[in-house]
Amino acid sequence: MHNPFVPETLEGWSVLHLLYRFDWPRLNSCSAPAREAIAAGAVTALEQTMSGDEAGATAFVQVLGHKADVMLILFRRSFDDLGRAELALAQTELHAYLLPTTSYVSIVELGMYEMTAKVHRLVEQKGLRPESEDYHAAFDALMAEQRQRVAGRLFPAIPAARHVCFYPMDKRRGELQNWYSESFERRAEMMLEHGKIGRHYAGKVTQIISGSIGYDDWEWGVDLFADDALTFKKLIYEMRFDEASAKFAAFGPFYIGLQFAPPDLGKLLKGELPSL
């Protein structure tokens, strides 16, 4: 059943963020060649959980600050594939030197406020009753067309950008401000204005939104990729003045770091700055 007051969503990659601290005293007791071998074994194990570009990707990020040392962002076709990747990592020698700090489970998501309203109108113009099976079949067919149109946004490649910012967020459901009690039209209007700010930063930052309602402690996860870390500050600061954020957004912890090429994991374990 399709509720006309609930925006449809389209889903893509299954996503798992894994954040760890290294057990540096134990790692530092290993020789440099041993640390290179430990890193290579972990990278190979994760690569072997994929087969071809359509099977997913893994981003490696050196996290700045005390919250973690490294963040792995796994993009896979399904939760089964995420489970296989997590198990593969657990079987590596590196895993014995990893101290988990947090994780996050989600699915790449496109919210379709404007398209939901448009598709409902198109189906109604066919003279179909909203409670009929034909109505919902026609609705599903039109949404499937939209899914094909935006497939590249549902299954994006990992941007080749040096800086990465990840944070979870919610829409407020408090007594005074409740996003979900606002009308569909009002929410759609606010999201349209919210999106305009992001479009001002096109070419400077790539944003990947993933939905986590029912999967983790927050409702969405946001990954930002940019060559200039200052872009994150300017974009998020500007969005704070947007009504959808100012009144209804609640933010979790922020994780910022440097993306690096997987083969450079060995450098990181040896105390050298890895490169992209």
Residues designated catalytic: 167
For 26-94, list the strands marked E by DSSP. 56-63, 70-76
CA nearest to 265, candidates 96, 117, 119, 72? 72
DSSP string for 168-234: EEEE-BSSS-BGGGS-HHHHHHHHHHHHHHHHHTTTTEEEEEEE-TTTSSSSEEEEEEESSTHHHHH
Query: How far is residue 232 CA from its own chain's centroid?
Result: 15
Check if the beta carbon of residue 155 is closer than 8 Å to that of residue 18. no
